[in-house]
């Protein structure tokens, strides 16, 4: 089981991972977007990190809701509303809970994906973060169904997310600024799919 203190620890690890990859994410975005994804994500997760000490003792739902609100208010472009919605939707499923198991986490992921689809009006295959999120969830559900432990389930998700990022190099962007490039977007990996994978890897590394 994962408790509230562990969630705070994981959010701190996610902030560190985004910081470490901020330039890489911005470089990816420079090729097909607004040249600011990593900068924006780092700013958002700095705010999340700054607020973590005040969340000690709160339930998991409250912690994730606050993280989502921080991301909405500080991350520019489309990423703020998308990631913020993802965290808030996940948090809503953990409302009042001080511990969650893998089954809870998978339900929360499903809610997060639903929030991204709703807010972004996007589906799988459009060169967005969903191309990493959806395969990751499918792989984690399959691994959990086989009775694998938390670490192996999360690792399966990371592998699928990484494969999803590779897949985004092969398709045309149809959402956001990247869609303006048409076929010229082929060959470039999606920054949002990449940042999601960075976050999931930080979670997996915590187990």
User: pLDDT tens digits, residue range 130-147?
Assistant: 999 999 999 999 999 999
Q: Which CATH class is domain 2-205?
A: mainly alpha
Prediction pTM value: 0.95
Domain coordinates in residue numbering, the chain: 2-205
Say whether pLDDT at 180 is over 60: no
Say whether pLDDT at 90 is over 80: yes
Say whether pLDDT at 52 is over 90: yes
User: pLDDT tens digits, residue range 38-48?
Assistant: 999 999 999 99
User: pLDDT tens digits, residue range 54-80?
Assistant: 999 999 999 999 999 999 999 978 899
Q: What is the average pLDDT value for the chain, to the nearest integer?
A: 94
Long-range contacts: 100-109, Cβ < 8 Å, 24+?
A: 100/1, 100/2, 100/60, 101/1, 101/2, 102/140, 102/144, 102/150, 102/153, 103/144, 105/2, 106/137, 106/140, 106/141, 106/144, 108/64, 109/133, 109/136, 109/137, 109/140
CB 191 within 8 A of CB 133: no
Say whether pLDDT at 175 is over 80: no
């Amino acid at each position: 089981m994962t408790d509230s203190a562990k969630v705070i620890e994981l959010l701190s690890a996610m902030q560190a991972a985004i910081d470490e990859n901020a330039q890489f994410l911005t470089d990816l975005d420079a090729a097909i977007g607004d040249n600011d994804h990593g900068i924006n994500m780092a700013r958002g997760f700095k705010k999340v990190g700054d607020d973590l000490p005040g969340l000690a003792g709160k339930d998991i739902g409250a912690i994730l809701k606050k993280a989502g609100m921080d991301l909405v208010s500080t991350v520019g472009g489309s990423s703020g509303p998308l990631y913020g919605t993802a965290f808030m939707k996940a948090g809503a499923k953990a409302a009042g809970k001080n511990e969650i198991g893998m089954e809870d986490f998978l339900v929360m992921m499903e809610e997060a994906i639903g929030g991204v689809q709703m807010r972004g009006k996007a589906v799988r295959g459009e060169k967005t973060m969903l191309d990493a999120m959806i395969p990751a969830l499918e792989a984690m559900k399959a691994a959990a169904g086989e009775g694998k432990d938390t670490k192996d389930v999360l690792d399966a998700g990371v592998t699928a997310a990484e494969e999803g990022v590779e897949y985004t190099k092969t398709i045309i962007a149809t959402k956001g600024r990247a869609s303006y490039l048409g076929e010229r977007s082929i060959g470039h990996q999606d920054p949002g799919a990449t940042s999601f994978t960075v976050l999931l890897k930080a979670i997996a590394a915590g187990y």
